[in-house]
Amino acid sequence: MWGLKFIIKGITNIEEAKQKLYTRETRLGGYTSCETLFYDKAGAQSIVLVFTATSESDLFVGPASDSLQKDVEHISTQVVGARGFAGSNEEYVVKLAHFIRLYFPEEKDEHLFLLDEKVKEKLNNNVINVQSFCKEIDNIDSRILALCPKKRQFD
pTM of the model: 0.68
Which pLDDT does position 153 carry in this prediction? 41
- Position 120 scores a pLDDT of 93
Question: Residue 5's domain spans which residues?
Answer: 1-60
Which DSSP category does 55 fall into?
A: T
Of 45, 60, 75, the residue that ends a domain is 60
What is the per-residue pLDDT for 71? 87
Q: Which residues contact 136 (CB under 8 A, 6 or more apart)?
A: 91, 95
pLDDT for position 155:
41
Q: What is the mean pLDDT of each run of 10 residues along the chain (155 residues)?
A: 80 94 86 89 87 80 78 88 81 92 89 94 69 64 56 42
- Distance separating alpha carbons of residues 77 and 68, to the nearest angstrom: 14
Same domain, 56 and 75: no
Catalytic site residue from 25, 35, 106, 121: 25
* Predicted local confidence at residue 116, as pLDDT: 95
State whether 51 and 71 are in the same domain. Answer: no
Is residue 54 located within the same domain as residue 71?
A: no
Residue at 49 is within a domain: yes
Annotated active-site residue 117? The verdict is no
- Rounded CA-CA distance 121/124 in Å is 5
Residues 84 and 29 in one domain: no
- pLDDT of 114: 95
Sign of the CA dihedral with 71 first, then 24, 123, and 136 last: negative
